[in-house]
Chains A and B, each alone.
Chain A
Amino acid sequence: MPHDHSDHDHPHALLPPEPALRVKALETILTEKGLIDPAALDEIIDTYQNKIGPQNGARVVAKMWSDPAFRAAMLSDPMPLLEEMGFYGRQGEHMVIVENTPEVHNVVVCTLCSCYPWPLLGIPPGWYKSDAYRSRVVREPRKVLAEFGLDLPEGKSVRVWDSTAEIRYLVVPERPEGTEGMSEEELVALVTRDSMIGTGLAQEPGA
């Protein structure tokens, strides 16, 4: 069996130790070699800083709450609809939508790295990528959720989705009570990022 030779060779040690200088050195080297265009970097940052984020996922959830046919289609075959909404792209090529119910609460993690549905939620927050979340939420999800202020009632099951492949999971939180008369646009404002990861619930109206 071939052995993984790269184990013995870590060129990164040649870079300056200070992280910001490491990034700068790599950017400088690659730019000087014509391999990256600094304007493209600005464009990538602007995309994930300002254009793509949890507001996309919130629109999907609010529409699922409001439109039973859309909801059914999203649960069975979401990709054509997501493409139509402009929510297809890198790290969101294969979405599966999982719905919270009175019986089951879903929560998403990537124990092996940091897989996350970028087109719907943007770049993952620091805690999602932390060792504590990655190591613990699979083993003791109820304790971890409590650290987010979410205490699940006994009798409600927890289903933790460990994103080990290129499938990306979006949680649809339960629609809060007292929202029956609300428009889709009003509902969007109740859907938090954490509620779509499963570490929170949708906000109550007026909260």
Chain B
Amino acid sequence: MSRVHDMGGRFGDGAVTPGDDATFAEDWHARALAVTLAAGALGQWNIDSSRHARELLAPKDYSRFSYYEKWMAALADLLVERGVVSREELAAGHGTGRSELAGRALQADKVAGVLSGGSPYVREDAEAARFRVGDRVTTRRPARNALVDGGHTRLPSYAAGATGTIVLCHGGHVFPDSNGHYLGEAAQPLYAVAFAARDLWGEGAEGDEVVLDLWQSYLEPA
């Protein structure tokens, strides 16, 4: 029931290519990043729903698209889904008429402030923390969104049903499984949970660990 982006632990991808390390290998990569950030500044979606838009690409598209092609495809889908651009405009390659959101367009002199301003995800109104550093916890299995069938979640499949130890408490954070579907921020305590590599993969050196940031509702006391 996982989606194609959830690839941690997958076999068959071959060697990593450290030489592929340019900031922008092509001019259009830079343009794709900039268009995506500028469109995001219109405030019609959030970081979780934009990630989910990439995850909703058909597996065959996700696999064949390069990184920024995924961004462009997801941006086009988001623009139509949120009613910012019409299917006709996409097909024509031209916009018809000024948008009522035009007043929100990111202007050049505001870019530095927006990028350095950030967008914090910590919330004070999260539910009370159930766990403390050192507690043993077991993750939900299967890894799924409990609010929306097939919806966005940040629990990778490879860590579903695994038992680990809380190593950091990050405080209350916006909950992607809800926020990604515009169902509210629904902040929950977020924890860094360390899993022994052997518990995840059945092999691995003694002492090797994988640490994931996981929201409280993904976890039960072990």
Q: Which residues of A contact B (CB under 8 A)?
A: 1-4, 6-7, 9-12, 14-16, 19-20, 22-37, 39-45, 47-49, 52-53, 86, 88-94, 96, 111-114, 119, 122-123, 125-127, 129-139, 141-142, 144, 147-149, 154, 157-167, 194, 199
Shortest Cβ distance from A51 into B: residue: B112
Q: Does B140 contact A (CB under 8 A)?
A: no
Alpha-carbon distance between A15 and B71 when the two chains are bound, in angstroms: 13
Contact A15–B38 (Cβ < 8 Å): no
Alpha-carbon distance between A42 and B33 when the two chains are bound, in angstroms: 11
Contact B93–A25 (Cβ < 8 Å): yes
Contact A88–B118 (Cβ < 8 Å): yes
Residue from B16, B53, B213 whose CB has the most chain A CB atoms within 10 Å = B16
Q: Does B133 contact A (CB under 8 A)?
A: no
Cβ contacts under 8 Å, A37 to chain B? 38, 105-108
Contact A33–B97 (Cβ < 8 Å): yes
Contact A135–B10 (Cβ < 8 Å): yes
Q: Return the contact of B168 from the options A96, A125, A141 (Cβ within 8 A).
A: A96
Shortest Cβ distance from A118 into B: residue: B115
Alpha-carbon distance between A21 and B195 when the two chains are bound, in angstroms: 44
Instruction: For the A-B complex with A4-B181, A164-B212 known, give 8 more contacts whose Cβ atoms are closer than 8 Å.
Output: A29-B85, A40-B106, A44-B34, A45-B33, A49-B23, A90-B118, A134-B7, A165-B173
Alpha-carbon distance between A42 and B34 when the two chains are bound, in angstroms: 8
Q: Output the least CB separation between B76 and chain A (Å).
A: 4
Q: Does B35 contact A (CB under 8 A)?
A: yes
Residue from A4, A129, A142 whose CB has the most chain B CB atoms within 10 Å = A4
Cβ contacts under 8 Å, A29 to chain B? 85, 89-90, 93-95
Contact A6–B81 (Cβ < 8 Å): yes
Interface residues of B in 95-117 (CB under 8 A from A): 95-99, 101-102, 104-108, 110-112, 114-117
Cβ contacts under 8 Å, B221 to chain A? none
Q: Return the contact of A35 from the options B14, B69, B102 (Cβ within 8 A).
A: B102
CB 8 Å contact bits of B3-25 with A (1 = contact, 0 = none): 00111111101111111111111
Alpha-carbon distance between A161 and B193 when the two chains are bound, in angstroms: 10
Alpha-carbon distance between A38 and B3 when the two chains are bound, in angstroms: 34
Q: Output the least CB separation between A55 and chain B (Å).
A: 12
Shortest Cβ distance from B108 into A: residue: A39
Given known A-B contacts A26-B75, A148-B18, A162-B212, A139 and B9 have beta carbons under 8 A apart: yes
Pairs across A and B, CB under 8 Å, 6 listed: A4-B181, A11-B79, A14-B87, A28-B94, A32-B94, A36-B39
Cβ contacts under 8 Å, A114 to chain B? 67
Contact B118–A93 (Cβ < 8 Å): yes
Q: Output the least CB separation between A83 and chain B (Å).
A: 10
Q: Output the least CB separation between B165 and chain A (Å).
A: 12
Cβ contacts under 8 Å, A161 to chain B? 192, 211
Contact A164–B154 (Cβ < 8 Å): yes
Cβ contacts under 8 Å, A20 to chain B? 26-28
Q: Does B42 contact A (CB under 8 A)?
A: yes
Cβ contacts under 8 Å, B84 to chain A? 35
Contact B6–A165 (Cβ < 8 Å): no
